[in-house]
Amino acid sequence: MHNNADKCFYFAYGSNMSFQRIGARISPIQRVGVAQLLGFALKFHKVGRDGSAKGNAWCTGEEADSLWGVLYQLEHSQLEELDKIEGKGQGYDRRTVAVYQGPERVETQIYVATHIDDSLRPFDWYLHHVLSGARQNNLPVEHQNLIVQTTSIEDPDRDRYHREVSIYDNL
């Protein structure tokens, strides 16, 4: 699988796995399918701008570890827009990695946290986005269970909570 000159691949492992979430941020999107990043694990310890934890592709270096997610093909302009949304250079760095879609190796872009704090917990609505995306894409049950078992905290800004989960209202 190859990019054409105007497009690139993006591997989402957190809230952007949700069709509604990424569609509300950059649209239209082209989902390629489920993929895995070997030697990485999903951690909720990235310091978010709102003070809560966000997802991070944590490099464990262990061959047995794998981070499941969704591979999208984006226009370069969409990736630049996502850089702004994700806070490239201000909490996340964008890197090129190789993910596997079955036996096929695909070079793709991911965001990796630059500021982490293991004491933080994700807000309830953020974890809802991540779990929704994992379920929508039929990620392995073991990976979904890791997300379900993650402790979240209630966002004290209930208006933000309602705004975030309202993208699922028309399902």
* pLDDT single digits (tens) 78-127: 999 999 999 888 889 999 999 999 999 999 999 999 999 999 999 999 99
Query: Residue with structure tokens 């309602």?
Result: 162
User: Which whole number is the average pLDDT over 139-154?
Assistant: 98
Encoded tokens for 1:
């699988």
Tens-place pLDDT, residues 49-86 = 999 999 999 999 998 999 999 999 999 999 999 999 99
Q: Which residue numbers are catalytic?
A: 86
Q: What is the mean pLDDT of the chain?
A: 95
Higher pLDDT, 4 or 92: 92
Tens-place pLDDT, residues 6-18 = 899 999 999 999 9
Question: Which band of pLDDT confidence, cut at 50, 70 and 90, is reported for residue 1?
Answer: low
Select the CATH number that applies to the domain covering 7-168 from these four: 3.10.490.10, 2.40.320.10, 3.40.718.10, 3.40.50.720: 3.10.490.10
111 is in an annotated binding site: no
pTM for the model: 0.94
What per-residue confidence (pLDDT) applies to 137?
98
Residue 5 pLDDT greater than 90, yes or no: no
24 is in an annotated binding site: no
- Radius of gyration of the chain, Cα coordinates, nearest whole angstrom: 15
Side-chain-facing half-sphere of 34: CA atoms under 13 Å: 13
Indicate the domain borders of the chain. Answer: 7-168
Residues in CB range of 39: below 8 A, 6 or more apart: 59, 60, 61, 62, 63, 65, 66
14 is in an annotated binding site: yes
167 with 20: CB under 8 angstroms?
yes
84 with 92: CB under 8 angstroms?
no
